[in-house]
A and B are shown apart, each in its own frame.
Chain A
């Protein structure tokens, strides 16, 4: 366990935790659903990515590397889809937006429910 490896794991780990922490604050503080959704998907992508890379660096064995790569691929694929699905169903169910929203792109688009 060379010190470089240790420092790198610590750095990555702290970055990951930082993102999760900020996202959590975002979820609580942000006014309406759609904004919170942005924050939520950050934990799944950046937060977990940081921690996973830390794990990768920390163990470094052949097996762990393959697993981490697959998981990262899986995460980066599913997180946006999850967020998309929730956004879609929220909009369809008529969850109203934050009154002071400036841009409203979906005015003209009607989604077939």
Chain B
């Protein structure tokens, strides 16, 4: 029912948007972005598919139901908090490991980034769960 042009553009845009959302997520620690914004951008991308195609295809594109995202996100967030206990530090203390990048700089990956990923999945899961179910006719 929807126009062909929109469908092609939507399919073309999906990779760019997901890339943008991951970009926003990973640089969140230093520059504006983070789990929350990344999650929303990715949700917007999926919603674009839903508008272009229909809810069923959008759901198939996810290859898993939005249900999985919620426990995954919360699990990640909790784990990143509990991980600190392994080193005997109180809950939620962050530890960092710096990954040398090919370009010479060093990327500080650490527990907060995992936590951010958790936030990313929860936000994505929430928005999708609501919008996809609303769209379901």
Contacts and interface: CB of A to CB of B under 8 A. Distances in A.
Chains A and B belong together in one complex: yes
Contacts of B5: 81, 84
Q: Which 3 A-B pairs have the closest CB atoms?
A: A81-B9, A81-B5, A84-B5
A77 interface: yes
Contact of B16 (A74, A88, A112): A74
A1 interface: no
Contacts of A112: 1
A78 B9 contact: yes
Given A77-B9, A78-B9, A85 B16 contact: no
B12 A77 contact: yes
Interface string A85-109: 1001000000000000000000000
Contact of B6 (A74, A81, A113): A81
Nearest to A113: B1
Contacts of B6: 81, 84-85
Interface of A: 70, 74, 77-78, 81, 84-85, 88, 112-113
Contact of A84 (B3, B12, B13, B16): B3
A32 B27 CA distance: 45
19 contacts: A70-B16, A74-B13, A74-B16, A77-B9, A77-B12, A77-B13, A78-B9, A78-B13, A81-B5, A81-B6, A81-B9, A84-B3, A84-B5, A84-B6, A85-B3, A85-B6, A88-B3, A112-B1, A113-B1
A91 to B, nearest CB: 12
